[in-house]
Amino acid sequence: MTILLTGIDGYMGWPTALKLSQEFPEERIIGVDNFARRKWVGECGSDSVVPIYSMKERLKAAREHGFENISFVEGDLTNKDFVDRIISTHKPEVVLHLAAQPSAPYSQINGERAVFTQKNTVLSNANLLWSLKEHGLTDTHFIETTTTGIYGAPNIRIGEGFVKVVDEEGNSDVLPFPNIASSWYHVSRGFGAANMMLMNMQIGMPCTDVRTSIVYGIATEETALDERLATRYDIDFYFGTLFNRWCAMMIINHPLTIYGSGRQIKPFISLEDTATSLVKIVKKGNEGKYEVYNQLVEYVRIKDMAEWMNHTAEKLFGRAPGIEYIPNPRKEKEESEYSFENENFLKVLGKPKHESMQETLPEVLEKLKRYEDRIRAYRDRLIPKKR
Ligand SMILES: NC(=O)c1ccc[n+]([C@@H]2O[C@H](COP(=O)([O-])OP(=O)(O)OC[C@H]3O[C@@H](n4cnc5c(N)ncnc54)[C@H](O)[C@@H]3O)[C@@H](O)[C@H]2O)c1
């Protein structure tokens, strides 16, 4: 079997490559990336606070640790000729598509970034799907990590991809959940979801849409083996995700900044469980359906999360950074009671390694402490510039 993993250089991609290699040592894992994430973070004046190595050094270290079946091709997935070349050369049985511009705030900077984000996401997705079809690889399992952000923040329980709708005459149907995302990035992921459903409907290509929640954590079992195997860890306003940014704030005693009321609820999953579940989805396969998983383990109210993180800092470091409310730079619902179904997802994942962020926090801080100087160096990137 050949597994094509796009976005291999990314925060989730690299740990997933190592886990895939561990789980499928006899198969071929072909990673693709154009190193755009390194460039985008640099453009925003920041860098991964956990130093990351070049792909060449990563692969060398991987081989030394027994992950011997990963190879790499550099290229841009928005280029159909490039996509055709890798698909026709490698004829993958599985495509695990993680490549995207993944930052909502970056997509909101200006029109150029909004259009770029949508082009990058939609063209990469459509190029891969069409290239598979045009090369006769219609049984290839296409898996893409989209986002729970597609669902917006409705006051109803969010099913895994679908919602039952009843009209005024009492007729009912189960329909794809509408794309009510709140950023140009999040909306772009809804296109990918619709394209997968369409390709499945038209030719029966097995497509799995993994609605990824906010991923947190600094390492996985495999990336922790060697500093050359580390994955990136961003703390800046544009690319750092919530828990990870707040952990960096705790290290340097910077107040935990809450956007708006803090009454928003957000879903989370650890990096370890993210990568493990993606490997399990590959292993499970898909019998020609369009399947959707809500890839999350818990959901919490932001205000509550800040309070227990603040309290933990006091317990661990003897000082609490405090909590600061700042005007919400995002246009989003300030309050919602929404909740998610994730039963199908948990059936695939099994028991999560990290049941809660609260439980995992000391372990993340312990590892992050080593990079205190780098966090201080990028301290001014932690919060939005215009307030
Ligand atoms: N990390 C999260 O919290 C989270 C949450 C929800 C969804 N996701 C989604 O999961 C996927 C992986 O996220 P991540 O955090 O690892 O992001 P990431 O930016 O670290 O990884 C994406 C990788 O794709 C590469 N890439 C982007 N555009 C490309 C192109 N046109 N051609 C080739 N390579 C390209 C980037 O260089 C990067 O290495 C993304 O699709 C993201 O939107 C992530």
Q: Establish whether residue 200 lines the binding site of ligand 1, counting it when its CB lies within 6 angstroms of any ligand atom.
A: no
Nearest atom of ligand 1 to the alpha carbon of 99: 24
Contacts by residues 195-202 (CB-CB < 8 Å, ≥ 24 positions apart): 195/122, 195/125, 195/126, 195/129, 196/125, 196/129, 196/142, 196/144, 196/290, 197/290, 199/129, 199/133, 199/142, 200/288, 200/289, 200/290, 201/290
d(CA 196, CA 144): 9
Which residue has its alpha carbon closest to ligand 1 atom 2?
215
Output the CA–CA distances (angstroms, integers) from residue 147 to 104, 214, 262, in the order listed: 11, 8, 21
Q: What is the distance in A from the centroid of ligand 1 to the CA of 179?
A: 20
Q: What is the distance in A from the centroid of ligand 1 to the CA of 4?
A: 15
Q: What is the pLDDT of residues 64-92, one digit of tens each?
A: 999 999 999 999 999 999 999 999 999 99
Q: Coil, strand, or helix at residue 293? A: strand
Q: What is the pLDDT of residues 183-221, one digit of tens each?
A: 999 999 999 999 999 999 999 999 999 999 999 999 999
Q: Establish whether residue 235 lines the binding site of ligand 1, counting it when its CB lies within 6 angstroms of any ligand atom.
A: no
Pairing of strands 207-212, 290-295: parallel
Q: What is the distance in A from the centroid of ligand 1 to the CA of 162?
A: 24
* Element of type H or E holding 339: strand 339-340
φ, ψ of residue 72 to 5 degrees: the values are -135, 140
Nearest in space to 107 (alpha carbons), one of 10, 190, 186, 195: 186
Q: Are 5 and 98 in contact (CB under 8 A)?
A: yes
d(CA 271, CA 16): 9
Residue to probe by mutation, ligand 1, list 12, 52, 278, most atoms within 8 Å of CB = 12
User: How buried is residue 130: exposed, middle or buried, by Cβ count under 10 Å (0-12/13-18/19+)?
Assistant: middle
Residue to probe by mutation, ligand 1, list 5, 6, 32, 33, most atoms within 8 Å of CB = 33
Overall pTM surpassing 0.95 (yes/no): yes
pLDDT in tens, the chain (387 residues): 999 999 999 999 999 999 999 999 999 999 999 999 999 999 999 999 999 999 999 999 999 999 999 999 999 999 999 999 999 999 999 999 999 999 999 999 999 999 999 999 999 999 999 999 999 999 999 999 999 999 998 888 999 999 999 999 999 999 999 999 989 999 999 999 999 999 999 999 999 999 999 999 999 999 999 999 999 999 999 999 999 999 999 999 999 999 888 888 999 999 999 999 999 999 999 999 999 999 999 999 999 999 999 999 999 999 999 999 887 777 777 777 778 999 999 999 999 999 999 999 999 999 999 999 999 999 999 987 764
Q: Establish whether residue 298 lines the binding site of ligand 1, counting it when its CB lies within 6 angstroms of any ligand atom.
A: no
Nearest in space to 270 (alpha carbons), one of 176, 352, 151, 170: 352
Q: Please name each of the domains of the chain with its CATH number.
A: 2-234+268-299+334-354 (3.40.50.720)
